[in-house]
Chain A
Amino acid sequence: MNLAALEDDHEAMFDQGWTDGLPVVPPTEARVARMLEGTSRDAHEVVCLIPPNLAECSVEKVAVNAVLAGCRPEYLPVVLASVEAVCSDEFNMHGVLATTMSVGPILVVNGPLASQIGMNSGINVLGHGNRANSSIGRAVQLVVRNMGGGAPGGVDRATLGHMGKQGFCFAEDETGSPWTSLAEERGFGPDLSAVTAFCGEGPRLVVDQRSRSPESLTRMLADALLGAVSPRMVMGLDAMLVISPEHMSRYRDAGWNRTRFTEEISALLMVETDGIVFGAGGIEEGIPEGLAGITVPKFRPGGLLVVHAGGPAGLFSAVIGGWLNGPAGSEPVTREVIP
């Protein structure tokens, strides 16, 4: 697009509808060419179709949006893998946009590339202030908006939304964790870099400054997880649990590995349906009365994604509730990052 000499480039790009409301970096030919140096992939290679309009998207178009978002060239491979994950049939980006629930793609980066490109897995990990975290998540959202047509108020019908929809991307703290990583759990070796896309709402803090045993802390985390999205929703949604380093030290000290933790917390994440049927406790919302009298798990097998991240001080973790799961909703999707 040619800009007139007296035109303000920031205002012109906003007027074109290319932004998420914040200023963007002008995608000049030189900047896009530099961005493309961040990947070994051909600029004209088709990455995928971008929902909801199912627009064919090339590596170059992703690069243009990565420039807009403020990415550095070395972030581009993570952006490309994220776009592929989010635009897969299993992730169902069209449904994630169209739902009135307040969810969006949350991207977790694993493997050596995360630290090589300067991603944050420590202090304020779920917040702002790190260029790679902020701009990678933003670039993916701009691709969906600009290439796919998925803009708020259009196909994006969220009643409330959340600030993470501006871009929500972070790295797992693998070096400080005694457990296997999220990507390893999902079948990717520790030497590979990978990104996992999870459809989720905003993070909710879980405060536990008293538990000294893994058993006590696990009960507390389970209590918080039972309320994810709604205490009356069971099985039909997934959740992500972000365990901070100080909370993780309870498990390290006691010698619990990820398998032991999963077994212990799964036993606690059981719900007696008598308490959540329509009308129970004076609340009309719930599950059908015909399901009363049984005990069911809060999450389906594998429906709890556990990540280790956060600053070194603070006895807090975070629950990120999901959206509808399975073939009728959104599945977490992991893709290898190809340099």
Chain B
Amino acid sequence: MNTHAIVLDPTAEDRPAERERCLRPESLAGLTVGLLDISKPRGDVFLDRVEERISGLGARVKRYTKPTFTKPAPVDLRHEIATTCDAVIEALAD
């Protein structure tokens, strides 16, 4: 049984906005796919191979790099990817 009827909320009391996910493309042919390197070691090795594979599927590839993996991607970079690419693949690390 509690001894305190009302306690104050320690959270930000916000609710995340829900957005529909984009549908997965049935084919990459003719689509522009962004490959985002987060600047961790060997991320480029992974993305080089991904570029080879999806280029072979007919996708146009655009490469992007975050300034540092320790911070979120800058707003301008996110905007550029969102407005120029149909899909994006982000390479994590190590």
B25 within 8 A of partner (CB): no
A61 within 8 A of partner (CB): yes
Contact B9–A8 (Cβ < 8 Å): no
Contact A8–B2 (Cβ < 8 Å): yes
Chain A CB within 10 Å — which of B1, B5, B12 has the most? B12
Contact A328–B70 (Cβ < 8 Å): yes
Contact A147–B7 (Cβ < 8 Å): no
Contact B12–A147 (Cβ < 8 Å): yes
Q: Mark B1-19, 1 if CB is under 8 A from A, else 0.
A: 1111111111110100000
A47 within 8 A of partner (CB): no
Q: Give Cα A267 to B5, complex, Å.
A: 62
Q: Give Cα A8 to B12, complex, Å.
A: 23
Quick one: which of A7, A29, A146 contacts B10, CB cutoff 8 A?
A146
Q: Within 8 Å CB of A53, what residues of B? A: 12, 14
Q: Give Cα A90 to B14, complex, Å.
A: 26
Chain A CB within 10 Å — which of B2, B9, B14 has the most? B2
B72 within 8 A of partner (CB): yes
Q: Give Cα A251 to B7, complex, Å.
A: 52
Contact A27–B10 (Cβ < 8 Å): yes
Number of A interface residues in the complex (CB < 8 A): 41
Quick one: which of B1, B4, B5, B11 contacts A18, CB cutoff 8 A?
B11
A136 within 8 A of partner (CB): no
Contact B2–A92 (Cβ < 8 Å): no
Chain A CB within 10 Å — which of B3, B6, B11, B67 has the most? B11
Contact A1–B4 (Cβ < 8 Å): no
Assess A328 versus B2: contact at CB under 8 Å? Given A3-B7, A29-B8, A57-B12.
no
Residue of A nearest to B71 (CB): A95
Assess A64 versus B68: contact at CB under 8 Å? Given A5-B2, A8-B2, A9-B2.
no
A271 within 8 A of partner (CB): no
Q: Give Cα A98 to B70, complex, Å.
A: 8
Q: Give Cα A252 to B7, complex, Å.
A: 52
A68 within 8 A of partner (CB): yes
Residue of A nearest to B3 (CB): A9
Contact A1–B72 (Cβ < 8 Å): no
Contact A147–B10 (Cβ < 8 Å): yes
Contact B6–A64 (Cβ < 8 Å): no
Contact A1–B7 (Cβ < 8 Å): yes
Contact A28–B12 (Cβ < 8 Å): no
Query: Hey, which bits of chain B sit against chain A, CB under 8 A?
Result: 1-12, 14, 67-68, 70-72
A-B contact pairs, 8 of them (CB 8 A): A3-B7, A6-B2, A9-B2, A13-B7, A27-B8, A53-B14, A64-B9, A64-B10
Taking A1-B6, A328-B68 as given, write out 18 further A-B residue pairs in contact, using a Cβ cutoff of 8 Å, ordered by the A residue number.
Answer: A1-B8, A1-B9, A5-B5, A9-B3, A9-B7, A12-B2, A27-B8, A28-B4, A28-B8, A55-B14, A56-B12, A68-B10, A94-B71, A94-B72, A147-B10, A149-B12, A328-B70, A329-B68
Query: Hey, which bits of chain A sit against chain B, CB under 8 A?
Result: 1-9, 12-13, 18, 26-29, 32, 50, 53, 55-57, 61, 64-65, 68, 92, 94-95, 98-99, 142, 146-149, 324, 327-330
Complex A-B, nearest 7 residue pairs according to Cβ-Cβ distance, in ascending order? A55-B12, A95-B70, A9-B2, A328-B68, A146-B10, A64-B10, A26-B4
